[in-house]
Amino acid sequence: LFEADAKGGAMFRLPVAGVNRFKKLGAKPSDVAAKWHAALKASANVPSITLNNMFIAFHAKSDDFIAAVCADVVSHGDRYGGSSTYGAGKAMLVEFSSPNIAKPFHAGHLRSTIIGNFLQNILRALGYNVTSYNY
């Protein structure tokens, strides 16, 4: 969904039908895309936003956009992308396994550990109070 555009920038296409795959938006994807497109505003780094049926395309000036995103990442540090309060005041328990030292190590052990750690990181970023058990 990312590609270079003819002006040397970058384009990201958002497929509204994919966002609406669980039919939670209550309308046809093309109608939802039109509504979202009408609400979006162009900016210095994303000077053009176009609508093509069920796709919304964001055209960015790649050098300027990359510089702006990098500055944002540096200014937020470890909290970049994790300022949500969606889970504030809620607790979540994540259990996942670690390698069994009595058996040969294999990729299945690593997979479970990575997925569990990934989930706890996402939940913490969403504001949940996470307790994790790695056993």
Catalytic residue positions? 103, 106, 109
Task: Compute CA distances 8 → 62, 89, 128, whole Å.
Answer: 7, 45, 41
Q: How far apart are CA 114 and CA 131, in angstroms?
A: 16
> What phi-psi label fits residue 76: left (phi over 0), alpha (psi between -120 and 50 degrees) or beta?
alpha
Count how many residues are written for the chain: 135
Q: How far apart are CA 3 and CA 20, in angstroms?
A: 23
Dihedral, 16, 4, 49, 44 alpha carbons, nearest 10 = 140
Q: Cα 8–48–52 angle (5° rounding)?
A: 100
